[in-house]
């Protein structure tokens, strides 16, 4: 990230697999925790990295209808590794650095996009990065990814 001119605070910690685990094991940091979901259609030819607040439960049926993709499901660990080069529990927006073919579409919930700083894993789940929104925008520009900000459908 330094090569992009992005200075981000990195905090090392024990392995965490979920946002709830991170709440338990990682001291509070300046920024909002982010739930990252890697989903795809049944054929796997349409892939999405969905970012929402941790407490949100994404309505995949509603999201599929909104995107006109057919049924969406969580991608397999193999597809996750092939697309973003990470294991389950380590997926984050920073994983897009491994998507040189730009096969993954980034979807960010409009409520989350209003935040000023985000907490995400730097390709491993044993560290957390505090990333200012402007630095995230620079990162996405450098990787050639476009963020689509929309109201992600949620289940109650």
**Mean pLDDT along residues 112-124:** 94
Number of Cβ atoms within 10 Å of the Cβ of 94:
23
Q: Per-residue confidence at 1, pLDDT binned at 50, 70, 90?
A: low
Q: CATH top-level class for 2-150?
A: alpha beta
Give per-residue pLDDT as tens, 15-74: 888 778 888 877 788 899 999 999 999 888 999 999 999 999 999 999 999 999 999 999
| Least trusted range by pLDDT, from 18-27, 87-96, 114-123 | 18-27
């Amino acid at each position: 990230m330094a090569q992009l001119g992005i200075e981000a605070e990195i905090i090392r910690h024990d392995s965490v697999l979920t946002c709830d685990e991170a709440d338990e094991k990682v001291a509070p940091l300046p920024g909002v925790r982010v739930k990252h979901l890697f989903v795809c259609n049944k054929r796997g030819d349409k892939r999405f990295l969905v970012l929402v607040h941790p407490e949100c439960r994404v309505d995949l049926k509603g999201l599929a209808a909104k995107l006109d993709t057919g049924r969406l499901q969580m991608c397999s660990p193999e597809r996750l590794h092939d697309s973003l080069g990470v294991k389950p529990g380590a997926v984050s927006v920073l994983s897009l650095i491994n998507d040189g073919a730009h096969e993954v579409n980034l979807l960010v919930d409009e409520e989350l996009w209003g935040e000023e700083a985000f907490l995400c894993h730097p390709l491993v789940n044993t560290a957390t990065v505090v990333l200012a929104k402007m630095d995230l925008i620079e990162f996405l520009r450098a990787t050639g990814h476009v963020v689509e900000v929309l109201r992600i459908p949620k289940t109650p």
